[in-house]
Structure 1
Amino acid sequence: MPASSRTAAANASGGARQGSAGTPAAVLRAETPPAHYWRRWCEDAPAPELPAAEGAPAANEPLPQVLPHGDGADAPYRVLIVEDDPSQALFAETVLNGTGMQARVVGVSSEVMAAMEQFRPDLVLTDLHMPGLNGTEITTLIRAHAAFAHTPIVFLTGDPDPETQFEVLQVGADDFLTKPVRPRHLIAAVESRVRRARTLERQRSGDGRHPVTGLHTRTTMLQRLGAAIPEQARGALYFVEIENTTALRDRFGYAALEGALVDTGRHVGELAGEHLVSRLNDNTFVVFAAELAAREFGTFARSLRDGITRHQLTVEGEPLRLRALVGYASLHSGFEDAGAALAAAEQALRDARQLPVGIAAHQPPEAAAAEADADRVVMLHEALMNDRFELAYQPIVAVAGGEEAQYQTLLRLRDADGNMHTAAEILPVAEAAGVLHEIDRHVLELAIAILDQRVGESRPVRLFVSQSARTLTRDGYAATLLGMLEGTRIDGPSLVIDVRQDEALVHAVALQEFCSAMVPAGVQLCLSQYSAGPEADALLAQMPLGFMRLAARYSSQLGEGAVRDEMRAAIERAHRLGLQVIGQQVEDPQAAATLWISGVDYIQGNLVQHAAGGLDFDFQNSVL
């Protein structure tokens, strides 16, 4: 968005807020709401009950509660609201208190730290612009205290400027909610963040089981898998997914759905018996059946699916049965590490979604060299031994202009006869021949050498380096990358690891571990070939990304209204999460203009410059 447009939008937002606050009737209504008045906006609100006496709630009025979900403490969730506008503060306080949380308001920024020390909140909900301090300063102030290093900080703001939001996210904020926010969305966002924070705190303290369900924590499960694989070549790994949770959440509300999933988690633990069970995310469980015989793999999968289907729940007084999908991978396949086994089971789950029975087993690929073209396999091995890989570069230009130099790296192979081969020719053969991870590592080495050289020449550059998700999730690869960076003069954010969306979806669980290792080093991640969808949007929220590169179809099909609308919604979603958006394969000025109007941050494609062997693009004088 152009700076003038952002300013106008900000002024419009500020003007609307001031006008609302300046209306006496509106202030009166905001400061004197009846108990649980917020429920009237919620889709899952119960029928209103008449009070037994004027001003008092009915004895049988249902009180919506947000439970701690067994996250290590029975205490209600504590939320510190930092807001100088009394009506806004009262709104948030009333909404959160009405769910059973404990909300406290601070209206002066100088009192924030004293309130933090005294109240010890599970989450801070703060306005972006407070008198005396801005969002960056508030976040820095809180994060400077070790006791609050992991306390979630969520900003509630009407400021549409993505640059401002990105700055705050960079110094440690967790999320943004855009005003006006619906009460139901506010509750869900706060509750989800607090629940996750309490779970992580419990995991940091060394508790390996969920206190309510008795299931193993995700961290414990990954540790057990890592210790067992590849040494153990027996048993199987199962992914169990509960279907239609989005529709259930819309119907019953987040808290009711969460209660149903907690109950289901207990039941999965009972069905699994002696086998290890963990909840991976909102609606997916993993079962590690280490001692299961091969002849029982399919029977056990059906017992999980049917056992969940037969288990009757009661949600808000309504009987309910959930349907489950099951994907599993036999450990007899000899996976080289836990990440490979998890990826195989996750791929099987994706296959199960396409089958009427809802169960699928992982099918191991055939031996690589048998299917790969023998001559090309030889060429790859010779290239690795004789250092024949090269990098080409394509500029990524900011639509608002700027001098920051950044390029997408593109792999090239020069064979013994001097012929050049592109990544599209090389990588499928490399994957089939089992040497893709070696090529990925070689590409990283080349990119890091270039980055270090440019720093030494006082000409820093940012490089987007494509890597296979399968490579990133190999045991020890994160440590290898960090080792490459040691002793260099490279600033972490100048290296961006580029991962394709289709691969990230398959390896989502294992990728989290790689991401966790990269964040402290400042290495950024980009989700490439993004195409909107529920799974892709979940990735955007779950992974610590810095960039999102749109799929090529968004540039080539801009004449279709539905594609444009989908793209604009995707860009807006990414900006809310603090991500910068790249429009790729831009071939003509009309596509560039449409992308610019839609809000992308960067343009990449032949319109800017074809891929070349040098880093000599003039970013300072480039004009789109």
Structure 2
Amino acid sequence: MQVPKAAEDADPATRAETPPQAYWRRWSEDAPSAQASEDKPSSGEAPVVAAADAPANDSVTLPPLGTGDEPPYRVLIVEDDRAQAMFAESVLNGAGIEAVVAGDSRDVMDTMQRIKPDLVLMDLHMPGMSGAELTTMIRAHESFLHTPIVFLTGDPDPEMQYQVLEIGADDFLQKPIRPRHLIAAIESRVKRARSLGKQRMTEASRHPATGLMARPVLLQALSSALPSPAGGVYFIEIEGTSTLRERFGYAALERLMTEAGRRLGELAGAHPATRLNDHSFLVYTPGLEDLGLDRQARVWRDGISQHAFEIDGHTIRLRAIVGYAALRHGFNDAGSALEAAESASRQARTQSIGIASYEPPEPGQTSDLSEYLRDALADDRFELIYQPIVAVAGGDEAQYQTLLRMQANDGTMHNAAEIVPAAEQAGMIHDIDRWVLERALVVLQHRRAQSRPVRLFVPQSPRTLAREAYADWLASAIAVRGLEGPSLVVDIRLADALIHSVTLKAFCDSLVPVGVQFCLSQYEHSPDADSLLSQLPLGYIRLSARYAHADAGALRDAMRTSIDRAHRQGLQVIGHSVEDPQAAATLWMSGIDFIQGNLVQQAASELDFDFKNAVL
């Protein structure tokens, strides 16, 4: 269809209509020349771009921008004015750039997590949430820390420009802007960001001393390959590290583990390998058939166990425990595969050969249980109850631990101690953890709206926290609800943290900028446990229930050592399972900061404890 030209006496500079999507060349057919556009002032609100540079030939389709095998450039346009958003989208699409529009600022974080844009092109003034606020939120996510943010606005205020640049924006473009200038600005930013991203990946992809892969790089490679019909994941654990630490010290043990990592790297060859925590490693063998998995496990075990290591002038041999999981079992994400291999390593500890393979439960063993838990979720038979955590020095700050319960068909109530192991066996711990966290966030939001803020300690499994994008989802959920990060404390059991310390550190580090706090629960003094106090960005520890009865002897001394060490790290200590005044007095005299237990109040469905007038 031929598009008619405008009348000769029409004033082209006053054109404000917006073209249909992908018709920017045809729409600009009668646009003024670049010189005329510059000489004649515009009227009304500035359009997103000036059409002067748009080519008139609409028969040319530009290929998506990108080099070689790289994906095309992808830009997220954040603009509440639909007409201007469509025009910017059509300009970028016409230049071979993929453009996605988010018209509601509340959808930005979810959209970014879904499409992973190379650049964000954003308006400054939008209803609901300003561009400056969105920039702060985006920069709080580690995965988007280096994503270029370019503002395109008609606001001429230089102070506002300085403000958004200070909080993390990369550039500030003034409306109206010519298409070629907009495209050039975006291309240069994306090229530079991709180049820097490759450089950061190269620098961070290998440990300088061992040559092993960085853990996120390996897990990303594993995730990209799943599901896979072949290959395996190996969880390799070095036994006896606690004894070695006590004898030689932490620094010497770290040097020894570095040597063990270097040795494993030699054995792994082309297979990706990484260090998981103080004493365990992960190896991924893509494409390896089942017949070779056990043979390879023996290579890892023997290659480490038969090697002579030096530590402070002593020659020692290390015992390696190997658990592995065949990828043919149908894992859909790296967290599930790692969990299966770790489960096999626990079984390997009980085997004389020190090797075990993961075998999924028989369908008959878990199908009924899985369906029962799924039915409970679907029928909303889970519920949260809350137990107050009271400051021994007094105060009116409301804080509770959330406790999970589930009502069975016969009316029986099951507590978390029964639910969590069953959920882990049935492969549903992630679903239940997310339900708990979502319900807790709703409570925090309601209390904030009532001007009655509360802090909630919410238990989570490290298997859930290791899931891809779980940290991003949580950060986004907090931002969307307008919550303050410190109102949420993620509660992690010590036994889990000792195994998943690297995973947990990555999760915690990604949420520290949001303000989320962390508590290490069921804490007991040990060299491994003490090392976690400095490794993880904790705010609290909750003592083991055993310490509530530590009225004399070595147990009381260990409790006081734990409390002193925590205080030196700047952590606050919660005394747990306090049932009687004698236990409360023992904990109070040992220097705890908070007390929790039935002596204070039993867990209940309401958050109505009177913190201000509580007397301990």
Of 495-504 and 409-418, the range deviating more from structure 2: 409-418
Counterpart CA distance in 2 for 1:432 and 1:213 is 35
TM-score (norm 1): 0.61
The alignment status of 1:217 with 2:210, answered yes or no, reads: no
Q: How much has 1:560 moved relative to structure 2? A: 5.0
Counterpart CA distance in 2 for 1:246 and 1:429 is 30
Partner of 1:486: 479
Partner of 1:582: 574
Partner of 2:604: 612
TM-score (norm 2): 0.61
Counterpart CA distance in 2 for 1:249 and 1:512 is 21
Q: How much has 1:596 moved relative to structure 2? A: 0.7
The alignment status of 1:231 with 2:227, answered yes or no, reads: yes
Does structure 2 retain, via aligned residues, the 8 Å contact 1:391–1:412? yes
Does structure 2 retain, via aligned residues, the 8 Å contact 1:339–1:510? no
Residues 1:411 and 1:505: Cα distance change in structure 2 (over 3 Å): same
- State the SS of the aligned residue for 1:486: helix
Counterpart CA distance in 2 for 1:262 and 1:369 is 41
- State the SS of the aligned residue for 2:583: helix
Residues 1:613 and 1:538: Cα distance change in structure 2 (over 3 Å): same
Counterpart CA distance in 2 for 1:424 and 1:245 is 29
Residue in structure 1 matching 2:513, options 517, 520, 534: 520
Residue in structure 1 matching 2:297, options 290, 296, 301: 301
Q: How much has 1:253 moved relative to structure 2? A: 6.0
How many pairs were matched up? 419
Counterpart CA distance in 1 for 2:287 and 2:470 is 29
Q: How much has 1:486 moved relative to structure 2? A: 2.3
Residues 1:237 and 1:558: Cα distance change in structure 2 (over 3 Å): same
Amino acid at match of 1:220: V
Counterpart CA distance in 2 for 1:472 and 1:260 is 29
Residues 1:209 and 1:427: Cα distance change in structure 2 (over 3 Å): closer
Counterpart CA distance in 2 for 1:415 and 1:254 is 48
Residues 1:563 and 1:261: Cα distance change in structure 2 (over 3 Å): closer
Residues 1:549 and 1:212: Cα distance change in structure 2 (over 3 Å): closer
Residues 1:587 and 1:497: Cα distance change in structure 2 (over 3 Å): same
The alignment status of 1:279 with 2:271, answered yes or no, reads: no
Partner of 2:561: 569
Q: How much has 1:587 moved relative to structure 2? A: 0.7
CA RMSD of aligned residues (A): 3.1
Amino acid at match of 2:441: I
Counterpart CA distance in 2 for 1:567 and 1:301 is 40
Q: How much has 1:304 moved relative to structure 2? A: 1.8
Residues 1:321 and 1:443: Cα distance change in structure 2 (over 3 Å): closer
Whose Rg is larger? Answer: 2
- State the SS of the aligned residue for 2:265: helix
Counterpart CA distance in 2 for 1:500 and 1:349 is 19
Residue in structure 1 matching 2:437, options 433, 437, 444: 444
Q: Deviations over 1:161-183 (max 9, x none)?
A: xxxxxxxxxxxxxxxxxxxxxxx
Counterpart CA distance in 1 for 2:254 and 2:418 is 47
- State the SS of the aligned residue for 1:341: helix
Counterpart CA distance in 1 for 2:416 and 2:314 is 55
Q: Deviations over 1:525-548 (max 9, x none)?
A: 222222333443343332222221
Partner of 1:399: 392
Residue in structure 1 matching 2:533, options 537, 540, 543: 540
- State the SS of the aligned residue for 1:206: helix
Does structure 1 retain, via aligned residues, the 8 Å contact 2:242–2:527? no
Residue in structure 2 matching 1:312, options 302, 308, 311: 308
Q: How much has 1:458 moved relative to structure 2? A: 1.5
Q: How much has 1:558 moved relative to structure 2? A: 2.2
Of 421-430 and 338-347, the range deviating more from structure 2: 421-430
Counterpart CA distance in 2 for 1:312 and 1:425 is 45
Counterpart CA distance in 2 for 1:249 and 1:432 is 33
Residues 1:548 and 1:204: Cα distance change in structure 2 (over 3 Å): farther
Counterpart CA distance in 2 for 1:314 and 1:412 is 51
1:241-390 superposed matches below 5 A:
241-248=237-244, 257-315=253-311, 318-367=314-363, 370=366, 372=368, 377-378=371-372, 380-390=373-383
- State the SS of the aligned residue for 2:394: coil
Residues 1:389 and 1:204: Cα distance change in structure 2 (over 3 Å): same
The alignment status of 1:549 with 2:512, answered yes or no, reads: no
Structure 1 vs Structure 2: percent identity of aligned residues?
Answer: 56
Q: How much has 1:407 moved relative to structure 2? A: 0.8
Q: Deviations over 1:451-487 (max 9, x none)?
A: 1121122211101122233322223322322232123
Counterpart CA distance in 2 for 1:491 and 1:502 is 29
Does structure 2 retain, via aligned residues, the 8 Å contact 1:343–1:506? no
Partner of 2:497: 504
- State the SS of the aligned residue for 2:203: coil
Q: How much has 1:336 moved relative to structure 2? A: 2.5
Q: How much has 1:243 moved relative to structure 2? A: 3.7
Counterpart CA distance in 2 for 1:386 and 1:249 is 50
Residues 1:617 and 1:223: Cα distance change in structure 2 (over 3 Å): same
Does structure 1 retain, via aligned residues, the 8 Å contact 2:440–2:456? yes
Does structure 1 retain, via aligned residues, the 8 Å contact 2:521–2:542? yes
Residue in structure 2 matching 1:457, options 450, 454, 474: 450
Does structure 2 retain, via aligned residues, the 8 Å contact 1:368–1:432? no
Counterpart CA distance in 2 for 1:417 and 1:256 is 57
Partner of 2:194: none
Residues 1:545 and 1:343: Cα distance change in structure 2 (over 3 Å): farther
Does structure 2 retain, via aligned residues, the 8 Å contact 1:216–1:278? yes
Counterpart CA distance in 2 for 1:459 and 1:609 is 20
Does structure 2 retain, via aligned residues, the 8 Å contact 1:234–1:331? yes
Q: How much has 1:254 moved relative to structure 2? A: 5.7
Q: Deviations over 1:482-531 (max 9, x none)?
A: 23212323210111112223333444443333223221211112222223
Partner of 1:208: 205
Does structure 2 retain, via aligned residues, the 8 Å contact 1:455–1:489? no
